[in-house]
Structure 1
């Protein structure tokens, strides 16, 4: 199996002594390294499929990886293997641990237009530009793992201060509706793990090895989630291309 890889790819697949960052440009076989490493972890390193999570950035990438792993591991037991986006992994965690955060397991997920409507109600306006700006600002705060109180404290101009107030009301409304927005799917698991060590320990035991694709696109919140899940063991492989780092 490893014969189809070049020397650096083979090295990346076989390295299991701690955190591994693989820098690789487009078309250099990054995804192949992840799929072959999943196979190696199960066949050679004694991991069971349910202890491994591969995290991608889009549903399309997750589906493609699932297919590739399926072909590679034909006839072998890969039941319980997690191949998901950050958001769908976060959703899985929230559904399982919802009660700890005061949500019902069947909470709703709001899309962008739903949250737009809620903001329009809070601000009592139909000014699309203002609403988009506010929506973008709240999303940026969530991605940077900044809550409403911190946003208020950090606000340095009138507009940001107003947005921070709206952020607080927006979160209260979501909670009252038993709903979360897309950014909450990553922000809330991080909050959960910060507040409930038992939940963190449970998920660290459950996901023993993480593989992260397109690592250059992780924002502060996603980075925090990976850091918490890998804990002191640091058993993960991150694959990325720093030339494509859109978040710097």
Structure 2
């Protein structure tokens, strides 16, 4: 199975003794190493497919990776294997653990236009420039894992402090609607695992091996 790999690639596939970072240029076979490693973990190292998650950045890339793994497995079952984007894995986690955060499993996911409309209602304005700026600021806070209270506490300018207040009302509105936005699919699982160690322990036991493609983009 590993005959198509060069020596460093085979070494990366066979390495099982802790975290491993593979640094290589574009087109050098990093994704191939990940797909080969998944097959190696299942066929040679004794891991169940359900204990492995491979994460990439686009749905297209995730589908291609799933197809590559299926070919390598030559018809053997990969049932339970997680091949997903960061956001789809976050959604999977939230669907199962949402009760910790006060959500029901059927919560909705808002797209950018839905988020824009809620902000328009919160700010009672149709000023697109103001709304886009506020939407960007809230997204920036979420991507930095900053909650509304932290945003208010660290705001140094009046406009930023005002945006932080809008952020707080926006989040309260989402919660009332039993909805999350796209950024929440990353932010909320991080909050979940930070504040609920029992949920973190469950997922650490569930996913024994985590393989991330294009890690430099995280």
Residue pairs, 1:135-146, within 5 angstroms: 135-146=135-146
Residue pairs, 1:1-248, within 5 angstroms: 1-218=1-218
Tell me the TM-score normalized by structure 1.
0.86
CA distance in 2, matches of 1:9, 1:128: 50
SS of residue paired to 2:22: strand
Shift of 1:135: 0.7
CA distance in 1, matches of 2:169, 2:12: 47
SS of residue paired to 1:24: coil
CA distance in 1, matches of 2:49, 2:24: 26
CA distance in 2, matches of 1:60, 1:155: 39
Q: For residues 167-194 of structure 1, what are the alpha-carbon distances to aligned partners after superposition, in whole Å with 9 as ceiling and x for unaligned?
A: 0000000000000000111111111112
Off by >6 Å, runs of 4+ in structure 1: none
Q: For residues 205-246 of structure 1, what are the alpha-carbon distances to aligned partners after superposition, in whole Å with 9 as ceiling and x for unaligned?
A: 10000000111111xxxxxxxxxxxxxxxxxxxxxxxxxxxx
SS of residue paired to 1:210: strand
Shift of 1:36: 0.3
CA distance in 2, matches of 1:22, 1:159: 43
CA distance in 1, matches of 2:86, 2:7: 30
Tell me the TM-score normalized by structure 2.
0.98
SS of residue paired to 1:4: coil
Q: For residues 102-159 of structure 1, what are the alpha-carbon distances to aligned partners after superposition, in whole Å with 9 as ceiling and x for unaligned?
A: 1110000000000000001111111111111111111111111100000111111122
Shift of 1:98: 1.2
Structure 2 unaligned spans of 5+: none
The aligned length equals: 218
SS of residue paired to 1:2: coil
Q: For residues 53-72 of structure 1, what are the alpha-carbon distances to aligned partners after superposition, in whole Å with 9 as ceiling and x for unaligned?
A: 00011111101101111111
Residue 221 of structure 1 corresponds to: none
Shift of 1:13: 0.8
Structure 1 unaligned spans of 5+: 219-248
CA distance in 1, matches of 2:42, 2:145: 34
CA distance in 2, matches of 1:42, 1:50: 10
